Amino acid sequence: MLTMDAVKLITEILTDLKANRLKLPTLPQVALKINNIIDSPDATAKKIAQVISTDAALSARMIQVANSPMMRASSTVDNVQTAITRMGMGVVQNIVISFLLNQLFHTKHDTLKKRLMRVWNHSAHVAAISHVLANRFTGLRPDEAMLAGLIHDIGKLPLILKAEGNAALANDPACMDSLDEKLHPALGKVIVQTWGFAPGMITAVAEHENLARDSEKLDLTDIVTVANLLSYAGKQHHSTQTNWAGIPAFNKLDLGPEDSIAALEEARDEITEIVKLLTA
C-alpha cells in the first residue's frame, strides 16, 4: 500500500509533468542527429561518421567496439567510418545511445548512485535478453529489440533527479520503489516522445509493465515485456509471483516460462557479451 507521502509525491510529479515543470533528461544533440540520419532513406556510414567524429570519446568507443571479440572480425579498424561499416547502423545506434545515456546516469548522492547503477545494469540486461529473443524466436530486428530494452526504464531517471533535491525521498527506498512502479512507464513515454523515437519504441517504453496487453501481432513491446520478466528469473521480485504462462506476450513468442529460461541459459555467454558492450 502506498504511503501518504508517496501519494502526495505522485500527485505532485504528475501535476509538474502536465505543466511541463518536471525536469526531464535530455538526449545529447549528437544522438538526436544520428537517430535522424539512420531514420532517413539516404543514410550512409560517411554521414554518421561525420557526426560521431565531433565527439572524441564517442569516436574512440566506436573503434573499440568494432575491434571487440563480439564483432568476430579478422582485421583491426582504425577509423570511425570503417567501424560503422563493420558494425552496421543498428548496432551503431545502440552503442551511441548506450554511451550517451550512461553519461546521464550520474549523481553525487551515494544512495541514489546505487539506485542509478541498478537501473542501468538492469536496462542493459533487458536489452541483451531482448536481442536474444528477437534474434532466435522472432522475425523482428534484434538491434531494434536491444534498443527498446535499453530505454525501457528511462522513466525512472527523472524520479531519481527529483530525489536529488529531496533528502527525505532520497533516503526512503520504499517510497522511491513505489514512485518507480507507478510512474516510470508514463514518464518514460514522455521522454522518448520528446527524443523523437519511433512509435514502436514509445509503446515499448509505455506498455512493457502491462502484462495483460494483447496486441494483434508480436511486436517490440512483447519482446521487452518478456525480457523484463526473464531478467528477474531466480530473484526475489514481485514479477516472479505472476503466472507467466497466462501472459499474452509469452504466448505470442510461443515460449513457455521453462523454455524461456532454458533459452536464456543457452544464450548466457551472448547475453554477457552484450551487457559488457553496453555498459563498458
**pLDDT value, residue 2:** 59
Average pLDDT of adjacent 10-residue blocks, the chain of 280 residues: 70 83 85 90 94 94 90 89 93 92 86 92 97 94 96 94 85 88 93 93 97 94 96 77 86 83 91 90
Fold designation for 105-280: Hypothetical protein af1432 (1.10.3210)
Residues of the chain with CATH 1.10.3210.10: 105-280
- pTM over 0.85, yes/no: yes
Q: Which residue has the cell 523484463?
A: 228
> How far apart are the C-alpha atoms of 108 and 112, rounded to whole Å?
8
For residue 27, the model assigns a pLDDT of 86
Write down the pLDDT at residue 49: 95
pLDDT score at 93:
92
* Under 8 Å between Cβ of 195 and 179: no
CB distance 156 to 118 below 8 Å: no
CA 216 to centroid of chain Cα atoms: 24
pLDDT score at 20: 82
Distance CA 258, CA 29 (A): 43
pLDDT reported for residue 261? 86
